[in-house]
Structure 1
Amino acid sequence: MNKETLPIIGFIGIGVMGKSMASNLVEHGYKVNVYNRTKAKAETLVNKGAHLSDSVAELASKSDVIITMVGYPQDVEEVYLGNEGIVENVRSGTYCIDMTTSTPSLAKTLYEECKKKGVSVLDAPVSGGDIGAREARLAIMVGGDMSTFEKVMPIFSVMGGNIVLQGPAGSGQHTKMCNQIAVAGTMLGASEALAYAKQAGLEPTRVLESIETGAAGSWTLSNLVPRMIKEDYSPGFFIKHFIKDMKIALTTAEEMGLNTPGLSLAKELYEQLAEQGEDSSGTQALIKYYL
């Protein structure tokens, strides 16, 4: 497929992960329209060849595929359903992909509302943090129609390596909740293990060498514990966004009659950190609770 036949992509949300995801698309030859509320964050992409749109409406009217990667469900709702939003300005036949971690119920609403306009929608949240986004190794969890999934697979493949259609609209978001529940427990375990190592007078890096390849091995252990040891709390994923995700997971679990005490504890500890001013730190800052 040459550049002339590639669809024009609109990318909304140039944050820690969105910036790298959009950059990979530009580098693979796609013409990319970008929009971000803070326009300065798009400067690097514009220098690479992306076009900065003045509004969501402008971007929606000039793109064949629209990807959204914003902060919260209310942001998703505003971008899609608000005045001058995507639904109001999108062309029939456009493909929309919401890669924000949002609620399964909103994903279903977007699917139905866009369908009325002849627009196909996928909910496709991701996992892998800033590193996965930068290296195009994201896990992409998708909900929606198979035909739409197959159509945009070439675009997904530029951003991630583990791309799975989980089921109908909302299934991607449900799968991301499974991911975040697992991450919450793993973060607790990794933080407590590191705190224990320090308290016992062990060399943390040496301990990590022993345990990361055994039964305790995990992405968190290999990628975030080294940051904890170096006291590097820069965000690969913001605490404030992780709290948002855990709240969605808890609410959805309660609606299904499922009790998740481990998730409740993790949310409580992270909320304490947020109250201490750590809401914009990376999730690895959980270690501060134990120090």
Structure 2
Amino acid sequence: MTTSIGFIGTGVMGKSMARHLMEAGHELHIFTRTKNKAAELLDAGAVWQESIASLAQNVDIVISIVGYPSDVEDIYLGENGIIANAKQGTYLIDMTTSDPILAETIFHAAKKRRLHSLDAPVSGGDIGAQNGTLTIMVGGQNEDFLQVEPILALMGENIVLQGPAGAGQHTKMANQITIASNMIGVSEAIIYAKKAGLDPVRVLKSISAGAAGSWSLSNLAPRMIKGDSDPGFYIKHFIKDMKIALSNAKNLGIQTPGLALSLELYEVLAEKGLEDRGTQALIKWFEGELS
């Protein structure tokens, strides 16, 4: 069954995610602040909308994956935003990593206008987006989740409803807290292997298959070794995520020293002009390339 889907945000991950929807035969409408970033999708048959309002008025499902919570707030809650302009019964799926409290606010605002809102942040980076294998963490009502699950399945494989509105974002915070400390460990391991005179590629063969194994070790460590810092996930966005996680951890009354240290190191990279590089560029801090 063909569904009209509006997609907002065609960056490193969004472009691939939107392409999967088109390839499945759905009618795709696009709005993004920079039109040329959507050129490939438009050439492939996507429909360009001149504004968020016009997009929301012409589709049955709206999917967004933008940069920051402030962007999410603007596109959903603004006077010319999605909630004010969407048809009753439209499903709203925000896949941005954002603040759980904002997700709850959007849910309640949407419900007042008889719209169905879910927060559904993702993990898996550019590789997961390209392969349609993203992990998708969902917050919202079960009946709404069941309606859009087939659409989510076109973009990901591990799709779990975590609880009510905001639960998807809280789960993503747990994900980012895990990655934050792990990236330090991966960087330190590579530097240790090099200093010990080992071939780091060969070392990875052993440790990635053992108890130290992780997605970051398997997918980002090879990029670190090659000196490839092209973004699968931007440092600037990871810093945003870690700040949201720290704020929520504080509200929950818990200590997250690993997260705090990782944020400190990544902020050094950003200050050195690397905010638009991939998170694997953390290795540069350990290599002493930032002085």
Q: Report the TM-score range of the alignment, normalised by the length of the smaller protein.
A: over 0.9
Separation in 2 of the partners of 1:149 and 1:88?
22
Of 193, 197, 205, which aligns to 1:209? 205
Separation in 2 of the partners of 1:188 and 1:220?
10
- 2:73 is aligned with 1:77: yes
The runs of 5 or more residues in structure 1 that have no matched partner are none
- 2:167 is aligned with 1:171: yes
- 2:19 is aligned with 1:23: yes
Give the corresponding residue for 2:183: 187
Give the corresponding residue for 1:92: 88
Runs of 4+ in 1 over 4 A off after TM superposition: none
Separation in 1 of the partners of 2:78 and 2:165?
21
Give the corresponding residue for 2:261: 265
SS at match of 1:277: coil
- TM-score, normalization: structure 1? 0.98
Give the corresponding residue for 2:127: 131
Deviation for aligned residue 1:221: 0.6
1:249-288 matches, within 5 Å, as: 249-288=245-284
Give the corresponding residue for 1:150: 146
Deviation for aligned residue 1:49: 1.0
Deviation for aligned residue 1:183: 0.5
Separation in 2 of the partners of 1:197 and 1:46?
46
Deviations 1:189-219 (CA, angstroms, capped at 9, x unpaired) = 0000001111111111111111110111111
Identical-pair percentage: 60
The amino acid that maps onto 2:141 is D
Of 232, 238, 241, which aligns to 2:237? 241
Of 212, 219, 222, which aligns to 2:215? 219
Separation in 2 of the partners of 1:117 and 1:210?
55
Deviation for aligned residue 1:168: 0.3
Give the corresponding residue for 1:43: 39
Deviations 1:85-114 (CA, angstroms, capped at 9, x unpaired) = 111111111000000000000000000001
Separation in 2 of the partners of 1:101 and 1:114?
19
Separation in 1 of the partners of 2:286 and 2:83?
46
Deviation for aligned residue 1:83: 2.6
Deviation for aligned residue 1:253: 0.3
SS at match of 2:273: helix
Separation in 1 of the partners of 2:150 and 2:207?
37
The amino acid that maps onto 2:18 is A
Separation in 1 of the partners of 2:189 and 2:279?
16
- TM-score, normalization: structure 2? 0.98
